[in-house]
Amino acid sequence: MSGLGERLRSWLGRERAPGVRVHVLIRGRIGAGWYDLDEQVTVPVGTTLGGLVDGHAGVEPALAEALAEALAQSPHLAHTLMLNGERCPVVEHRERVLEDGDELYLLAPIAGG
């Protein structure tokens, strides 16, 4: 019976690729550039926040570069990173394992006068 169930799930397309889906949003002026990224990425199970930020999670190189550049050019952004609506400083949460459905949000603050 389980063989039939597996074939049926496969036929119906309900088999999901192994991995964790993370929504990454980067908005605002960071360094010399303006970023407007809104990406749904799939990373391996067990990927940490540090692994994603450092580009070791197998995500699209452009996304990893944007995160790395943003944090290198504007180090204060590492302290304003949000994960699931809560402030999540990279230094303090590098080893935090990402879970399916997590939302990572980096918004460059706008200042003026």
User: Which pLDDT tens digit goes with each residue over 19-55?
Assistant: 999 998 888 776 667 777 788 888 999 999 988 887 7
Residue 62 falls inside a structural domain: yes
CATH number at residue 68: 3.10.20.30
102 DSSP β-pair partners: 22
* Domain total in the chain: 1
In a domain, 27, yes or no: yes
Structure tokens at 73: 């050019």
64 in any annotated domain: yes
CA–CA distance, 44 with 59 (Å, rounded to integer):
10
Is 102 domain-assigned? yes
Q: How confident is the model at residue 95 (pLDDT cuts 50, 70, 90)?
A: very high
Does residue 104 have a pLDDT over 80?
yes
Domain that holds residue 82: 19-107
Would you say residue 66 lies in a domain?
yes
Whether 94 has a pLDDT exceeding 70, the answer reads yes
